[in-house]
Structure 1
Amino acid sequence: MSDRAYIATRKGLFEVYRTHEAWLLDQQHFLGDPVSMVLPDRRDGTLYAALNLGHFGAKLHRRDAGSMDWVEVAAPAFPVKPVDSTDPVDWTVRQIWSLAAGGPDEPGVLWAGTLPGALFRSADRGDSWQLVDALWNVPERAKWMGGGYDVPGIHSICVDPRDSRSVLVGVSCGGAWLTTDGGASWSLRAKGMSASYMPPELQAVQEVQDPHRIVRCAAEPDKLWCQHHNGIWRSVDNGANWSEIRPAAPVSNFGFVTAVHPQDGETAWFVPAEADSKRIPPHASLAVTRTTDGGKSFVAWRGGLPHEHCYDLVYRHGLAVSDDGQILLMGSTTGGAWLSEDGGGQWQTISTTLPPIYSVAFA
């Protein structure tokens, strides 16, 4: 059972630990610096923290298991842009937007998704990185566009636990892409999604979809969930086809985050917002919605969460689930952090005064 978690914020990385009575804030790291992503590597206990230092660029730090010291390692970086390139994108990593560990049979392998929308792979625990050229060079990338940022970005990296060479990534706005050969080739995986923000004749185009977040069920890897810019979608065939979730009871179509139960692909959590044009919780009351039947129905959980005058959003990586699916940690754009030990039914407050939270993860 998890007894430690991490909260990456605009002004540092914070640790949370469990006591006999409650979960409490503990150590702090990189105080004052924006930490865009945190990754605890379950394979060897290493902890990775990605920093976004603006003028000084994107940085990556590593802390080995049992150590209190952080070591700066290489950050993903583009090769020199060819002088004859017609690509309008600036080949400079603005931010490390996602980090994922490779499979258990690939010690040391890491994946990183960046702004702009590139995927990088490391085979040596972050000491060096290589741009995944095959994805960067797909012709469809010319249609990718920025969503919340002015450039596309890769925010979701789903490694298949059955086959480490099979990886699905989500791009805002660029759809979903799958490799089955470790990144040597890629195929679109957004069939069935629909983009209401596009002209009618372009709404079903796969490479313009804006999946805000895609997650995979570890125990049922073919089951994927997606919080899209304008709805919730689900796949039961590893992304080959997506079906929009239209439950009997209406839920918000807009939000950023989703999480799936590691052992049950029918159970997933979302944190709805009012609308694209009104990015606050519905009725200014924070809620976590949960389905346990594959999206046929949802229950909104508010116990312990702020009910009135609440304007918190939860970013794409702001909701984490423990391996047993019972403990949830959530962090908001206005520095609220809450934890549930009963699958989201009741929440305890960790803090309401943290900096804006970018990502959370269990050790």
Structure 2
Amino acid sequence: MGTKGSSMSPPPYDYDPFELLRQSNFSDDEYERCFRFFDSQKRGFWTREEFRRFLSSLFSNKQRPYFILNDRIEEYFRDTDFNQDDQIDYDEFIQAWKTTIKCAVRPISALVIVDVQNDFISGSLALHSCPANHQGEEVVPVINRVIRDVNFDVVAYTYDWHPLNHISFYENRHLRSAAPESPIAVDSAHVLDTVLFVGPPNLTSTIEQVLWPAHCIQKTPGADLHPDLIRVDNAIHVYKGTNPEIDSYSAFWDNMKLSKTSLDDQLRERSVTDVYVVGLATDVCVAATAMHAVENNYRTVLIEDACRGVNEHEIEVKRAELNECGSIFVDSDVVPGMVAGVDRRPEVARGMFVENLKAIGHYHPR
């Protein structure tokens, strides 16, 4: 099962019915014309081979099809063939694919810039002092280029925004009681060790916490965005980690999913379908944000050359987890085509397709 996003068939199609759909603002007449285009025998339904042609045309880059495994094509066919008669009629096509086609051809895309703050670049938790020895400032020119070159519908900046007594600070480790089952005692803990604290009674029984140097304290220079990072007008600004008792890596939820930020609501108000994640650090706040973006049913892309991390091993672990759940990793040079809807990756489509099947009552997991 699955897809290979890097392997592509050489001969391009000379006609793109999906571009005509975009130009017609996805009119019903143009959907019907799109269906008829792939109905080569003019019988009012698609065979498996005609359905394969449809997928090859939809999942393509400037009309060059992406390779899709036969197992995945068959899975899509069976999911679309609601009445299991071994053919796809127009009603099945429009119910199963209308939403996915529209999102693929004209996505509404948000760039979420995670925690590009001074403390992670040159301050108390600078990435160059962490095990991976990454240079956090290297993301700034890449992100700036993406902002300038790509027509994102929405841009969001996120901030670690901690009070002085925050639970994540190594310097505060004695302010709370360690749980008896903590793998490391507070007195013997070092920076980057993980301890288990007794949680506040109104929140949770225990809290697992990595001990970081004090960083991104509210209203301090260390919490400011890097001075060279482009600021976009009318952007979303999300402040996380404000509760002293719970850390918050993700820009969507705290680490225990007890409270959410405003990010999801603000993206939905703007009808966002696709979330592109960049920033610091890959294996911590970037990965957590991308994971929750997938959970919230956004088509999620991590721009790899616009991220830097803490630990190389953890970066690979998070990469595998994100790939498994449907997020993809790309370099910044391919992002313009993806946001424009001409580079349509099959890997990011499956989740939204399944969610649509669930919404119309036709999802039958196998």
Query: Which structure has the highest strand share of the two?
Result: 1
TM-score (norm 2): 0.23
TM-score (norm 1): 0.23
Between Structure 1 and Structure 2, which shows a larger proportion of helix residues?
2
For CA contacts below 8 A with separation 6 or more, give which structure has more relative contact order. 2
In our comparison, the structure showing a higher alpha carbon Rg is 2
